Amino acid sequence: MRYLLLSALLIGAAWAADGDVVQTLKVDLNGDGKPESFVLKRLGEQARLVVLDSQGRTLWQAPRTELFLFGGPLDGGDLQAAGDLDGDKRVDLVGTYQKSDVSPTRFRWFRWTGSRLELVSQGYLCPLSQRPGTFKFSENQSSYWVERVLAIEPGRLKVELFDPVTEERNLTVWLRADENGEFVITE
Ligand SMILES: [Ca+2]
Ligand SMILES: [Ca+2]
């Protein structure tokens, strides 16, 4: 059994070569109606972020830094959603960092400048202590949190909340971006 498992792992490793596409997220970056792609390509045990034009040519390749490397041995560490999150007409990309089982998801929020991705903010997406319906990207944690970002529309994002006390998953709400960089539950 152990031999079989080891063989399967070795075969799996042989098939997952550097450069293989791990994840693709399509979005129109330049407004011409044709989708560009945010792509994760395998790089060792992780994956590197690359931006492709609508013809599949490389527009930008992220540096090999922690900020732009995804994947690894734990859960998450993937691309979540893309769209104009803050309503400034430039496309945003939200991804996660890897995490252990029941802990808040740590997000990274990038903006496409026209030629590259730059970091807007990162951190957990937890409610403010005085305003439980208002969320903000920060390093503060709280007793419940945004587990996943499901979709981005202009000025708002659809998220899944998670409460570890009640283990309430799949509580899906829309958060609207306000001018302070905070996100307020709307429905
Ligand atoms: Ca396009
Ligand atoms: Ca934007």
Bridge partners of residue 111, in order along the sequence? 92, 118
Q: How many angstroms separate the alpha carbon of residue 95 from the centre of ligand 1?
A: 21
Closest to 112 (Cα-Cα) out of 78, 89, 80: 89
Q: How many angstroms separate the alpha carbon of residue 52 from the centre of ligand 1?
A: 10
Q: How many angstroms separate the alpha carbon of residue 85 from the centre of ligand 1?
A: 17
Question: Which ligand neighbours the alpha carbon of 34 most closely?
Answer: 1
Q: How many angstroms separate the alpha carbon of residue 182 from the centre of ligand 2?
A: 14
Using alpha carbons only, what angle is made at residue 116 by residues 86 and 84, rounded to the nearest 5 degrees? 20
Kindly report the backbone phi and psi dihedral angles of residue 113, in degrees, each rounded to the nearest multiple of 5, phi listed first: -85, -10
Question: Which ligand neighbours the alpha carbon of 91 most closely?
Answer: 2
Place of tokens 């208002």: 134
pLDDT tens string 14-53 = 557 899 999 999 999 999 999 999 999 999 999 999 999 9
Q: How many angstroms separate the alpha carbon of residue 111 from the centre of ligand 2?
A: 6
H-helix or E-strand spanning residue 98? strand 98-99
User: Any long-range contacts for 65-73 (C-beta under 8 Å, 24+ apart)?
Assistant: 67/108, 67/119, 68/117, 69/43, 70/22, 70/23, 70/40, 70/46, 70/95, 71/22, 71/40, 71/42, 71/45, 71/46, 71/47, 71/98, 72/45, 72/46, 72/98, 73/45, 73/98
> pTM of the prediction?
0.88
pLDDT score at 169: 72
Which pLDDT tens digits describe the chain residue by residue (187 residues)? 455 555 555 555 555 789 999 999 999 999 999 999 999 999 999 999 999 999 999 999 999 999 999 998 888 899 999 999 998 999 999 999 999 877 899 999 999 999 999 999 999 999 998 998 999 999 999 889 999 999 999 999 999 999 888 877 778 999 999 998 899 999 7
